Amino acid sequence: MRLSVLAGVLVLAGWFGAMLGQDWMILLAGLGVIGPVALRESGLVPWRDDFQRETVMRSGLHALLVSIGLLVLVMATEGTGGSTRDGAIHSVDDIAASTVFLLLTVTWGISWLLCFWGPRDGARRILLIAVTMMTALIAAFCVYYFFNDRQILADSDPPAFVFLGLAWAAFAVSRRWPKLAGVILLAALGVLVSPFVGAPAAFPVEAWTPLALILVVPYLIPALALLTYRRDPEEDPA
């Protein structure tokens, strides 16, 4: 399990660095995705058990299917060589490699956490990771602009902070009241998505997929998992 934790840290650190402009750090994310599976399949590091191996493989299959689905959808609706000046995705060439990698990483990670840990504990882990990343990004944003341009901080929208508060509250109650946590998360998503719905022209279509993967999917999936969770009365407490 320590290797999985290390892999997760590498993936998150890599994406975090890349989002802050250090593109080379995406190599860390790649290492986190490929490394553990390569080490285990080569026999250098043993699998904890067959269940762990099966969940990793199944999650990888989910990621592959979702990515193929996206690519096929774009290819099937491919335009006749239109430009990207309007921000739309006209062909598979317009899809950034980073978008595909992000899709693979997010799908694989979320699927594995849910398959291995189960709906409630997996959802809690996904939520913890997502909210921690969001908090770290916003904190970095605040620190940077505090020392460079405080006016931007003063003009920043409160929804982001409201969203964070709701998301952390959802995590806090998720263990004991998973359905309540799911409701809170959906409310948080409503707060988060509302600015995008109100001003679609401000966000190019090509940015929607990464935005959805970073801002919506990591909260929507746990919300649904927590809302539909059925407690097993005979399960031993962790």
Partner 1 sequence: MYSVLYIVGMSRSRLNNHLRAWRKSAGGLTQQELADRAGVTRQSIISIERGKYRPGVELALKLAQVLGCKVEDLFELKEEGE
157 touches partner 1 (CB under 8 A): no
233 touches partner 1 (CB under 8 A): no
Nearest to 162 by CA among 200, 193, 183: 193
235 touches partner 1 (CB under 8 A): yes
Which residue number, 25 or 53, has a Cβ lying nearer to partner 1? 53
Chosen residue from 41, 54, 86, 149 binding partner 1 by CB under 8 A: 54
The alpha carbon torsion through 132, 133, 135, 138 (nearest 10 deg) reads 170
5 touches partner 1 (CB under 8 A): no
Tell me which residue has tokens 């080569």: 42
Angle between helices 119-148 and 178-198 (to 10 degrees): 40
What x/- string results for residues 114 through 143 when contact with partner 1 is judged by CB under 8 A?
--xxx-------------------------
> Of 37-45, 133-141, 166-174, 229-237, which segment contacts partner 1 by CB under 8 A?
229-237
Which residue number, 1 or 44, has a Cβ lying nearer to partner 1? 1
Q: What share of the chain is helix, strand, coil (3-state, %, to 5)?
A: 80, 0, 20
Q: What's the closest the beta carbon of residue 35 comes to partner 1, in angstroms? A: 20
234 touches partner 1 (CB under 8 A): yes
* 115 Cβ contact partners less than 8 Å away, ≥ 6 residues apart: 55, 58, 59, 122
| Through-space distance between the first and last CA atoms of the chain, rounded to whole angstroms | 16
List of residues contacting partner 1 (CB under 8 A): 1, 48-52, 54, 116-118, 232, 234-236, 238
